[in-house]
Amino acid sequence: MPTMNPMLVAIPVFMSTILLEAWIAHRRGMAVYDIPDALTSLHFGVLSQVWGAFTALLSFGMYVLVYDHLRLFTLPLESPWVWVGALLFYDFCYYWAHRAGHEVNLFWASHQVHHSSEYYNLSTALRQSATGAFTSWPFYVVMALCGVPPLVFAVVGLIDLLYQYWVHTELVRKLGWLDRVFVTPSNHRVHHGQNDYCIDRNYGGILILWDRLFGTFTEERDDETIAYGIRKPLASYNPVWGNLHVFADLLQRTRTAPTLRDALRAWFDPPGGRGKPVAHLDLQSVRRFDAGTRPEVRRHALVQYLLLAAMVLHFLVTVQTLSWMPGIAYALVITATTLGIGWALEERSFAHRFEQARILATALAFTLLPDWFGSELPDGPRIALVGAILASLAWLPPGRQPPRPSP
C-alpha cells in the first residue's frame, strides 16, 4: 500500500512561510528576495523531490540492507530513548556528512547546489541537490550497524531536515544562549557566507555543539556584512546545470590529469585545492548575478511556477503507483518545465519559442491522452485545465530584441 509523502504536507507550509517572510522583509525595507533567484531555488527543490523519488531507493535501500544482514544489535522500536538517541546519533552523522560536503570535491559537487544562491531566505532552504542520495548514504550506515530500526532512521532524518528550514532567514537575529547550543539563523548565516571567516564553518544540523566540539564553530560578526553564495558563482537560473556544473568540471579535470593519481585526487581534494590557504575575498568586488530579467518575464515565470507546483504535487501523489518508464517520463516533463522557466528568466534567445512549444505541447497532451500519468480526468476538469494552460500563454512576453547597430 503506498505511503503518503510527508512533503505533501510540508510544501504548503513552505510556500506560505516564504510568502510571509517576503512580505515582512518588504515591510521592513530588507532586500532579501529576488524573484528569479527564489524561483530558481524552488526549481532546485522540485528536481530534488522529483528525482529523489527514484534515488531515495538507493540510500534507504542500502540502510535497510545493512540493518537486515549486518546489524550488531537490535534496538526496540517502542522505546522513547531509542528515538531520542537516534535523533542525536543522526545529527552527529549529519555533521560529518555535511563537513565532507564542504571539504571533499566528490561530495561538494552535490552539496554546492544548496550554497549557490546569493540570497539568504527561506526559499534558499529548498535549494537542495538532486544527486545527494548517491553520496550521503555511507555516512549513516553506522546507524544501521548499531541497530537503529529503519522507521526510526527515516523519521529522525526527516525531523533533522525540517528543523533546518527555519534557520534560513535574515529576519531572526542573534538568540543568546540558543546560539551556543543549537543551529540558529545567526549560526547558519555564517555557514552560507563567502567571507573569509565563514568558509568551512558551522556544519551542524540541529546542534551547534558538534562544531564547538570539533573546532569548526565561528560566531557571526556584527561588523561585517555576509556575502552569500559560492566563490565560483553559478551565474545561471538553470537548475539542471546547477546540479551538474561541478561534476562537469571534475570530469574535465579528470580527463586532462597527467596521471591516474592526479585524476583520483581531483575528486577527493578539497574544493579550494590541497594544502592551499583560503584565498582572500574582497567584499567590495562581490556582485550578485542579475540577468536583467524584464518584469513581464518575471510575471510569466510566476504563473508557470503555479502550474508547475500543481504538477509536482500530483507527481508526488502518484509516483508510487507508476511503473518506472511513466515515472521517469513524468520526471522529465517536470524537468523540462523548470528548464523552460529558467531559460526565460535568463532571457535566452530561444526561450520564447521553447516556452511556446512546451506550453502548447502540455495542453495538447492533456487534450489527447486518455489519462495523465495514471489519473483519469473528467471532461469538465480537463477542459478547465487545458484552458488555464493555454491562457497562460497570454503571460508569455515576446522575446527580447537584440540591440540595433548604431548607424
Give the three cell numbers for residue 57: 531507493
Phi, psi of 256 (to 5 degrees): -100, 5
For residues 279 and 323, what is the distance between their CA atoms, to the nearest angstrom? 49
What tens digit of pLDDT does each residue of 72-87 get? 999 999 999 999 999 9
For residues 138 and 382, what is the distance between their CA atoms, to the nearest angstrom? 45
**Is 260 a residue whose pLDDT tops 90?**
yes
**Is 400 a residue whose pLDDT tops 90?**
no
Residue linked to cell 537584440: 402
On whether the CB atoms of residues 128 and 46 are closer than 8 A, the answer is no
The share of the chain scoring above pLDDT 90, in percent, equals: 87
Please tell me the number of Cα atoms within 13 Å of 250 on its side-chain side: 22
Ordered DSSP codes for 239-295: HHHHHHHHHHHHHHHHHT-SSHHHHHHHHHS-TT-TTPPPPP--GGG---------H
Question: Which sequence spans correspond to the domains of the chain?
Answer: 7-214, 295-395
For residues 81 and 85, what is the distance between their CA atoms, to the nearest angstrom? 6
- Cα 325–337–360 angle (5° rounding)? 95
Give the H/E segment covering residue 325: helix 324-345
Q: Would you state the pLDDT for residue 58?
A: 82
**Is 277 a residue whose pLDDT tops 90?**
no
For residues 384 and 369, what is the distance between their CA atoms, to the nearest angstrom? 15
What tens digit of pLDDT does each residue of 6-65 get? 888 999 999 999 999 999 999 999 999 999 999 999 999 999 999 999 988 788 999 999
On whether the CB atoms of residues 358 and 337 are closer than 8 A, the answer is yes
What tens digit of pLDDT does each residue of 169-221 get? 999 999 999 999 999 999 999 999 999 999 999 999 999 999 999 999 999 99
Q: Would you state the pLDDT for residue 379?
A: 85
